[in-house]
């Protein structure tokens, strides 16, 4: 076949295609093959890294970042072939990268279609190669406590064959990866397509030039996850969804629409649509675009409510076109946070015609809301003042690791919503896109964050190594992907970065980044969170809004913290207010309180905040921290110290607590552990006592009262055992074995009620709460007997038979009267029958080094957890049986449908 015939065939194929083309997005998570090196890996490296002779990962989280180690790159690395993947997100054409000739690695066996990979592990994505362990327990571990003591490091390969039919000839074929940790490089049919180093960002690669139409195509993906690259557990592998996208050569670009609203009232709202269209065909095209707007209810389009003006123009080959259009929606259904508002959403469907034929359809979900950042009133959503009751969340899902699962993420948000939380800060990286779909649907306010560091380093192999090459592409990609989510109220482009310390030089880096944010999204404010920069420093002046980590309530400034080294800061809300009277102020991180669920240590501090130290709220022998909820990281403050500081400064818009859930890694103060002690909720999803303290403040209209500690203290008979009470009421009477221990009322800046002189006597504690002199709520805590039975509780009775959906089974130890045994630590075994599988167990104990994949788990403070996954296309009853030596076996049945 000569060249002329080939060209005629291709043009005819395109003409046929253009008449019927529709955008197609196919999830390709199933049937991958995986291999990870156990020793030395192949030489196909992105770039040379600095040698690490020694690294200590148990330093305080607020330690000053350090200067980077400069290294010289090498001609043998693949960096020059990967950098062009960023070009779509580099605004200045002169700064875009030119790809060298050739395809490095094309002769490597793993990228070739005839390589025998049958011995490789078969799996589905998302996949976290490290989460099954085993945990490293030695002192000089290759991965220490900071990164979760799990084997995240090393080089892994994923292979999959994909069929591309001949009917796709003329289409653009893209690979979309929502997240892969890290230094991703992709080959197709032996050709190096491209890659993306930053493990948290989503990215797209054009496979079109390398496709074998009408047959199999070999996809090979190499990941290289370095040790000492993070301050928390980053996960490992292709841990988010992967898609194959097929479009016409004339199509709306990746994340190519931006919809925002202005002049929003109850009567009407003006909606702006900005879009980018690309013509990658080989001739000029007559383009028409029409966009219709519909309500979006139950995850599908509803009633049509508006149409944007129709656009018509000619678009030359290889050219892109962007335009901004406006329309009005009458009586808009506004997006806003519950319980006083509802998260209504819309969907815009853009249809693209080329030469009179439909070639693309592109959907954009969005919400209409009016957000104001008032220096006086705080956050106003649709003219209502909304106090930010937020938490910080890392990206792991506990025993599931970093592998994203929609139900697991939803469970986290549901529990936070129960507490009264209304806002999430994504710490400190882009989340899975589906998590933002959840925050949109559930009505959470979001601070979306991208970087934990810039040029300065916090760990030897962190993002600072690629910052100069990738910051613009990473930042623009992050913004374009997420800017249509109504839940996002502001962007954070940095967390506690080292540039706070470098005066004007650091401020210049901040200005460079914030200018990119404003360019991509002029509708939202941008900020970088500060734990060191003071009001008079150049760094503080750059952000649109003031975002403080711990500085509002002060750092190491109370008497109990005076002996500690590190940043020492008086409460700075007033100083920032004075310097920036016209700027909105909020706390992006507060508290950093520590506790182990159900563990109470004596004596109890007489103050309201103290650092966790051996014999003073912490135990160096057991590596547990007291759940009296006064104790903190060295740089932190208790919840109540934070509450008082914010109540004294009502112009502060609210807080994001560090942290909502416990997470893998950063196990302050015991770096021999696997997971954090910071969470209000533990790693397994069980509520700590602190949950009820926040609930008492954040849901003041909910009648509730909570007692701590538990009342099983046989070894403390007659000893002082303080009893504390959290309540949304204002007064409580406490009873021990029906004898009143007195009635107490909350004073100014008091958020708990304390009976610090109670002598332990087994039996029953009862707290009766009052509000405005009337009965409000009641709680009873009893001394239990020995455990005699297991109680199983499922978070849902029906699962979808899709091979992805989850059910979380809580195991509780009860005595013969049904009382929870709060100090039970018995070993339990899980057994599953039917179309389900046990994929993980946990108990919330940060010191438990048993593999998450184990079918056996010791109870911690009377509870354990099993996580069940459905099997694809297999319906029926799933029977979960849990046994423990000497106790009656328990069963529960759930349905897979």
Which single residue is written with the structure tokens 């209502």?
384
Q: What is the DSSP letter of 18?
A: H
Which single residue is written with the structure tokens 């000839």?
169
What is the CB neighbour count within 10 angstroms for residue 267? 8
Q: Is 414 a catalytic residue?
A: no
Single out the catalytic residue among 589, 629, 655, 666. 589
Single out the catalytic residue among 176, 455, 496, 812. 496
Using alpha carbons, select from 165, 168, 164 the residue that is nearest to residue 14.
Answer: 168
Handedness of CA 50, 56, 62, 64 (dihedral sign): negative
CA separation for the pair 31, 279 (Å, rounded): 34
What is the CB neighbour count within 10 angstroms for residue 406? 16
Angle of CA points 674, 678, 684, to nearest 5° = 60
Strand partners, 373: 379
Cβ 87 vs Cβ 476: under 8 Å: no
Using alpha carbons, select from 726, 742, 729, 740 the residue that is nearest to residue 770.
Answer: 729
Q: What is the DSSP letter of 83?
A: G
Cβ 190 vs Cβ 112: under 8 Å: yes
**Radius of gyration of the chain, Cα coordinates, nearest whole angstrom:** 28
Q: What is the DSSP letter of 166?
A: G
CA separation for the pair 416, 456 (Å, rounded): 34
Residue 12 phi/psi, 5-degree rounding, is: -65, -40
Strand partners, 866: 809, 841
Residue 674 phi/psi, 5-degree rounding, is: -100, -25
CA separation for the pair 252, 25 (Å, rounded): 14
Helix (H) or strand (E) holding 892: strand 890-896
Residues whose CB falls within 8 Å of the CB of residue 360, separated by 6 or more in sequence, listed in order:
21, 22, 23, 247, 248, 250, 251, 252, 350, 351, 352
Cβ 369 vs Cβ 440: under 8 Å: no
Residues whose CB falls within 8 Å of the CB of residue 300, separated by 6 or more in sequence, listed in order:
none
CA separation for the pair 335, 367 (Å, rounded): 6
Cβ 248 vs Cβ 17: under 8 Å: yes
Using alpha carbons, select from 751, 484, 524 the residue that is nearest to residue 644.
Answer: 751
Helix (H) or strand (E) holding 275: strand 268-279
For the stretch 404-407, contacts whose Cβ atoms lie closer than 8 Å and that sit 24 or more positions apart, written own/partner, are: 404/126, 404/178, 404/179, 404/239, 404/240, 404/241, 404/432, 404/434, 404/435, 405/126, 405/804, 405/806, 406/434, 406/438, 406/804, 407/804, 407/805, 407/806
Q: Is 314 a catalytic residue?
A: no
Residue 630 phi/psi, 5-degree rounding, is: -110, -15
Residue 689 phi/psi, 5-degree rounding, is: -60, -35
The per-residue DSSP string of 586-608 comes to: EEEEEE-B---TT---SSPPSSS
Burial of 95 (0-12, 13-18, 19+ CB in 10 A): exposed
Cβ 262 vs Cβ 326: under 8 Å: no
Q: What is the DSSP letter of 109?
A: G
User: Which residues are annotated as catalytic?
Assistant: 496, 589
């Amino acid at each position: 076949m000569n060249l002329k015939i080939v060209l005629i065939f291709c043009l005819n194929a395109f003409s046929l295609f253009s008449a019927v083309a529709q955008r197609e997005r196919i999830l390709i998570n199933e049937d991958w093959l995986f291999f990870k090196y156990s020793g030395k890996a192949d030489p196909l490296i992105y770039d040379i890294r600095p040698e690490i002779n020694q690294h200590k990962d148990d330093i305080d989280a607020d330690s000053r970042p350090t200067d980077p180690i400069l290294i010289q790159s090498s001609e043998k690395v693949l960096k020059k072939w990967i950098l062009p993947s960023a070009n779509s997100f580099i605004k200045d054409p002169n700064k875009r990268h030119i790809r060298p000739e050739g395809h490095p690695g094309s002769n490597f066996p793993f990228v070739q279609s005839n390589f025998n990979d049958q011995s490789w592990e078969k799996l589905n994505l998302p996949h976290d190669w490290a989460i099954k362990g085993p945990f490293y327990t030695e002192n000089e571990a290759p991965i220490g406590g900071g990164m979760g003591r799990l084997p995240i490091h090393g080089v892994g390969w994923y292979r999959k064959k994909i069929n591309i039919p001949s009917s796709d000839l003329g289409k653009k074929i893209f690979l979309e990866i929502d997240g892969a940790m890290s230094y991703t490089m992709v080959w197709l049919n032996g050709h190096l397509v491209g890659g993306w180093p930053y493990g948290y960002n989503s990215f797209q690669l054009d496979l079109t030039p390398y496709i074998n139409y009408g047959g199999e195509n070999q996809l090979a993906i190499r990941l290289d996850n370095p040790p000492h690259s993070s301050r928390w557990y980053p996960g490992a592998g292709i841990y988010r969804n992967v898609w194959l996208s097929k479009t016409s050569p004339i199509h709306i670009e990746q994340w190519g629409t931006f919809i925002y609203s202005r002049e929003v009232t109850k009567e009407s709202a003006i909606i702006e649509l900005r879009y980018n269209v690309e013509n990658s065909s080989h001739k000029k095209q007559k383009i028409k675009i029409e966009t219709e707007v519909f309500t979006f209810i139950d995850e599908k389009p509803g009633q049509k409510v508006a149409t944007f003006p129709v656009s018509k123009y000619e678009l030359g080959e290889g050219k892109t076109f962007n335009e901004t259009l406006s329309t009005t929606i009458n009586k808009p259904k506004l997006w806003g946070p519950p319980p006083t508002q509802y998260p209504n959403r819309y969907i815009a469907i853009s249809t693209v015609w080329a030469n009179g034929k439909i070639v693309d359809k592109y959907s954009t979900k969005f919400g209409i809301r009016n957000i104001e950042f008032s220096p006086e009133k705080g956050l106003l959503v649709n003219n209502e003042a909304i106090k930010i009751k937020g938490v910080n969340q890392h990206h792991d899902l506990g025993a599931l690791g970093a592998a994203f699962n929609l139900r697991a993420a939803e469970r986290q948000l549901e529990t936070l919503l129960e507490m009264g939380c209304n806002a999430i800060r994504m710490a400190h990286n882009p989340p899975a896109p589906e998590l933002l779909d959840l925050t949109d649907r559930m009505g959470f306010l979001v601070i979306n964050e991208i970087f934990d560091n810039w040029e300065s380093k916090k760990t030897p192999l962190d993002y600072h190594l690629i910052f100069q090459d990738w910051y613009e592409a990473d930042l623009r990609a992050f913004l374009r992907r997420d800017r249509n989510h109504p839940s996002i109220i502001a962007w954070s482009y940095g967390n506690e970065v080292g540039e706070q310390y470098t005066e004007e030089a650091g401020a210049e880096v901040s200005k460079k980044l914030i200018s990119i944010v404003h360019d991509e999204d002029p509708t939202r404010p941008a900020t970088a969170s500060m734990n060191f920069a003071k009001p008079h420093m150049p760094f503080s002046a750059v952000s649109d809004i003031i975002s403080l980590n711990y500085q509002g309530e002060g750092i190491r400034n109370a008497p109990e913290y005076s002996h500690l080294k590190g940043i020492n800061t008086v409460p700075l809300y007033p100083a920032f207010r004075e310097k920036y009277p016209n700027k909105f102020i909020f706390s992006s991180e507060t508290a950093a309180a520590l506790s182990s669920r159900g563990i109470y240590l004596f004596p109890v501090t007489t103050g309201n905040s103290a650092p966790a130290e051996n014999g003073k709220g912490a135990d160096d022998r057991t590596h547990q921290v007291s759940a009296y909820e006064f104790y903190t990281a060295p740089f932190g403050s208790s919840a109540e110290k934070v509450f008082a500081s914010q109540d004294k400064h009502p112009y502060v818009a609210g807080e994001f607590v560090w942290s909502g859930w416990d997470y893998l890694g950063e196990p302050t103060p015991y770096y021999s552990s696997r997971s954090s002690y910071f969470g209000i909720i533990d790693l397994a999803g069980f509520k700590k006592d602190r949950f009820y303290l926040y609930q008492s403040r954040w849901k003041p209209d909910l009648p509730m009262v909570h007692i701590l500690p538990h009342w099983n203290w046989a070894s403390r008979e007659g000893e002082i055992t303080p009893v504390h009470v959290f309540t949304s009421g204002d007064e409580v009477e406490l009873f021990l074995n029906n004898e009143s221990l007195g009635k107490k009322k909350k004073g100014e800046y008091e958020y708990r009620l304390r009976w610090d002189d109670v002598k332990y006597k087994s039996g029953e504690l009862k707290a009766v709460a009052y509000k405005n002199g009337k009965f409000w709520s009641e709680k009873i805590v009893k001394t239990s007997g020995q455990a005699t039975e297991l109680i199983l509780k499922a978070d849902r009775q029906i699962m979808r038979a899709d091979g992805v959906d989850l059910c979380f089974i809580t195991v509780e130890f009860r005595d013969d009267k049904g009382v929870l045994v709060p100090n039970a630590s018995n070993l339990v075994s899980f057994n599953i029958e039917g179309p389900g599988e046990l994929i993980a167990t946990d108990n919330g104990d940060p010191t438990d080094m048993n593999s998450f994949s184990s079918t056996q788990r010791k109870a911690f403070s009377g509870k354990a957890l099993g996580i069940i996954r459905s099997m694809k296309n297999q319906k029926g009853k799933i029977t979960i049986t849990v046994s423990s030596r000497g106790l009656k076996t328990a069963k529960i049945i759930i349905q897979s449908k």
